[in-house]
Amino acid sequence: MEKKILVAVDGSVYSSNSLDYLIRLFKNDANLKIELLSIVSAGSSDQNWMLDVDPLRAESPVVELRKAKAHRYLKDARARLLRNAFTEEQVNFQVDSSSASFATSIHHIANEGIYDGLLIGRRGVGKVGELFMGSVSAELISKCHEVPLWIIDGEVTSTRFLLAAHCTPQSLRAADHLAFIMQNNPETMVYIYHSSAVFGTTQAAAPEDFYDQWGEQWCSEHLDLENHLYQAHTRILVDNGIPAEKIATVPPHMDLDASHDLLKQAKKHGCGTVVIGRRGREVDKGLMGGVSDRTTQNAQNMAVWLVG
């Protein structure tokens, strides 16, 4: 089954890390389609305000130069993927200009294109990196809940995954997303792990909350709420193409900070990607954000997949 990933590219080292990540995980996956995207600003030239009222008006020379430069590095990025076992049919690219923020423009295109994932390389680490570098990824974490968001920090060298298990439908959807993306991929190894905070644990969902997506019969057979849904996560992975021998369960643990514990366990088991099901934007996560937010902020040389 075809899988379609939108990849935000800007010619930086962060984009280079994103390409390396794709090559490492998917170079032998003929079902993966990649759309490379670059956004250039149309808002810094005095002439470009007219585009909002007259869409037929030509863009300014400044914007045209920016688009030409973006086109060149997108061609280079595509050529790099082609040199690493991807085919011409698998990789396309597009350049778009916008007077909106980069994150808003990327989010809009991701929603319009019916993508299975949105990948972006992150600039900086944590709040300090966001403050000094500016963070498109931080804004996307806040905005993008409709499309699974893949945040890449630094160089990710491992093809192993840590799947964060929680007693919520979002967590099972994260397992479903991981299985769909990595099905029949011989490089896949998944560690299922539940971490809970000493203070302020997330309340488990009721069995009925899972019925709409998985059905009452499936839930009655596989929902193990008393065991943090380890069995349910495993069942979803196996049913969607991840061999049972490629799945390991790690005993649950309690920590002062669940996000810190997830990253610690990911490093302990040599995982390059943490997969988390996250709550919707309507949920109040407090000043420090939720577990998924803090995990993403503190991940170094690691990818985090956020699935809503």
Q: What is the pLDDT of residues 110-167, one digit of tens each?
A: 999 889 999 999 864 444 333 333 478 888 988 889 999 999 999 999 999 999 999 9
pLDDT for residue 241: 93
| 3-26: average pLDDT | 94
pLDDT for residue 38: 94
| 262-268: average pLDDT | 97
Give the pLDDT band of residue 12 (cuts 50, 70, 90). confident
Helix (H, G, I), strand (E, B) or coil at 188: coil
Q: Are 162 and 191 in contact (CB under 8 A)?
A: yes
Q: Are 291 and 276 in contact (CB under 8 A)?
A: yes
Number of helical (H) and strand (E) elements in the chain, helices listed first: 11, 10
pLDDT for residue 303: 97
pLDDT for residue 289: 55
Amino acid at 247: I
CATH topology of domain 3-153: Rossmann fold (3.40.50)
E strands, the chain, in order:
3-8, 32-41, 91-98, 117-121, 149-153, 160-164, 189-197, 247-255, 273-277, 302-307
Helix (H, G, I), strand (E, B) or coil at 286: coil
Please give the radius of gyration of the chain, using alpha carbons only, rounded to the nearest integer. Answer: 20
With a cut of 90, say whether residue 190 has pLDDT above it: yes
pLDDT for residue 61: 85
With a cut of 90, say whether residue 3 has pLDDT above it: yes
Residues of CATH 3.40.50.620 domain(s) within the chain?
A: 3-153, 160-307
With a cut of 90, say whether residue 80 has pLDDT above it: yes
pLDDT for residue 142: 87
The contacts of residue 86 (CB under 8 Å, 6+ apart) are 23, 26, 27, 34
160: enclosing H helix or E strand: strand 160-164
pLDDT for residue 54: 54
With a cut of 50, say whether residue 88 has pLDDT above it: yes
| 85-110: average pLDDT | 93
pLDDT for residue 256: 85
pLDDT for residue 214: 96
Q: How far apart are CA 45 and CA 59, in angstroms?
A: 10
With a cut of 50, say whether residue 46 has pLDDT above it: no
Report domain 160-307's class.
alpha beta
With a cut of 90, say whether residue 288 has pLDDT above it: no
pLDDT for residue 197: 78
Give the pLDDT band of residue 100 (cuts 50, 70, 90). confident
Average pLDDT, the chain: 87
